[in-house]
Amino acid sequence: MPHKLYLQDVTLRDGMHPIQHQYSKQQIRDIAMALDKAGVDAIEVSHGDGLTGGSFNYGFGAHTDWDWLEGIAENLQHAKLTTLLIPGIGTIEDLKRARDLGVVSVRIATHSTEADISAQHIEAARNLGMDVSGFLMMAHMNDARGLAQQAKLMEDYGALCVYVTDSAGALLMDGVRDRIRAFKDVLKSETEIGIHCHHNLSFGVANTIVAMEEGANRLDASLAGMGAGAGNCPLEVLVAVLNKMGKKHNADLFPLMDLADDVIRPMQQRPVQVDRETLSLGYAGVYSSFLLHAERAAEKYGLDTRAILNELGKRKMVGGQEDMIIDVALDMARKGQK
């Protein structure tokens, strides 16, 4: 029996990146309540880089994760309050603290070849009675078979769902299709499959639909695409497409459209859109949250952001190496590269 479609909103986690993690507590509360009323199944809240991601390397938030999470769960009528944790940034103690604040679901995120570092955190989440997913980031950097082997590890550790996470927005539709099929070949039928897409090559919605057609049921999206780089699969567009396809889900389209246009777009300090810089992320296969870091380095050292992003792609840099963007820019400046 196919799993029911499950729409997870990431406006309040991935959507932290374009505003440099500066949501106020009131904004978090108001948007979460509105998303809940509009019928999304899960609402993810944390710093853009997961629990306790606020740092010099990733950027300090306007508040702590605990401040953002406080008072949300008890006011949700439908949606699950969820969060994200990257081992090495967040700890098991952080996970316990989030659970105490009403978080019932968590994604444990690793690079696409490093599922083995998630074992303790997945086990701890299961022991806390949480719905836990594995989140394999930068999925384009591992082939379909290799990524499926990593997904199997996460399943063995206790993950109830595993995500193909296109953090760079670099996958084409065949790339998504092959990875979901590979997951289906190795995972148990009861293990759910998720898809998380970025829009850097304008495939956010298309890749999400392809994944769904191949068997993914947990679909990530955000209001107005609010997220790193050119943003995530835009939630209101995805819901409109699902409606036209006759797919059953719990979300209400018009309120989501209103939230996207009336609340989220006015917040965007840098428009979340496909432009020459965000397109370069997908083209070079670079982690979407590198965008603002690369733009600042380009301005400081008189370089073209696209050139920096292309160099980061050549060096196969991954999430967690944000501090090295300055080193790359300095190296390029010394060599007279523009």
Do 250 and 294 lie in one domain? The reply is: no
Do 46 and 188 lie in one domain? The reply is: yes
Is residue 217 pLDDT above 90, yes or no?
Answer: yes
Q: Are 198 and 229 in contact (CB under 8 A)?
A: yes
Is residue 337 pLDDT above 90, yes or no?
Answer: no
Share of the chain above pLDDT 70, in %: 99
pLDDT digits (tens, 9 = 90+) for 269-297: 889 999 999 999 999 898 888 888 888 88
1 assigned to some structural domain = no
95: tokens are: 């996970």
Do 227 and 318 lie in one domain? The reply is: no
Is residue 87 pLDDT above 90, yes or no?
Answer: yes
Residue type, 68: W
Do 285 and 206 lie in one domain? The reply is: no
CA distance 45 to 47: 7
State the chain's mean pLDDT as an integer: 94
Q: Give the residue from 78, 138, 127, 81 showing the smallest Cα distance to 107.
A: 81
Is residue 105 pLDDT above 90, yes or no?
Answer: yes
Is residue 338 pLDDT above 70, yes or no?
Answer: no
230 assigned to some structural domain = yes
Instruction: Answer with the one of 225, 240, 267 that is the final residue of a domain.
Output: 267
Do 258 and 151 lie in one domain? The reply is: yes
246 assigned to some structural domain = yes
286 assigned to some structural domain = yes
Better pLDDT: 318 or 272? 272
Do 189 and 288 lie in one domain? The reply is: no
Do 49 and 92 lie in one domain? The reply is: yes
Mean pLDDT (whole number) for 315-332: 82
Do 260 and 317 lie in one domain? The reply is: no
Query: 301 to each of 281, 309, 334, 338, how far by Cα in Å?
Result: 20, 14, 10, 9
Q: Annotated catalytic residue: which of 3, 17, 63, 198?
A: 17
220: tokens are: 């990530």
Q: Which pLDDT value is given to residue 1?
A: 61
At 78, which CATH number? 3.20.20.70
Do 188 and 307 lie in one domain? The reply is: no
Q: Are 307 and 338 in contact (CB under 8 A)?
A: yes
Banded model confidence at residue 325, pLDDT cuts 50, 70, 90: confident
Do 183 and 318 lie in one domain? The reply is: no
Instruction: Answer with the one of 267, 292, 326 that is the final residue of a domain.
Output: 267
Q: Which pLDDT value is given to residue 289?
A: 81
At 298, which CATH number? 1.10.8.60
Q: Which domain holds residue 294?
A: 276-334
Better pLDDT: 193 or 316? 193
Q: Which pLDDT value is given to residue 327?
A: 86
Do 246 and 316 lie in one domain? The reply is: no
Lowest mean pLDDT among 137-146, 220-229, 291-300: 291-300
Banded model confidence at residue 92, pLDDT cuts 50, 70, 90: very high
For the chain, the domain total comes to 2
Instruction: Answer with the one of 222, 242, 267 that is the final residue of a domain.
Output: 267
Do 187 and 316 lie in one domain? The reply is: no
With 0-12 CB in 10 A as exposed, 13-18 as middle and 19+ as buried, what is 217? Answer: middle
pLDDT digits (tens, 9 = 90+) for 15-34: 999 999 999 999 999 999 99
220 assigned to some structural domain = yes
Active site residue 17: yes
Q: Give the residue from 323, 169, 178 showing the smallest Cα distance to 233.
A: 169
Mean pLDDT (whole number) for 112-140: 98
Mean pLDDT (whole number) for 297-326: 85
Is residue 153 pLDDT above 70, yes or no?
Answer: yes
Mean pLDDT (whole number) for 316-334: 82
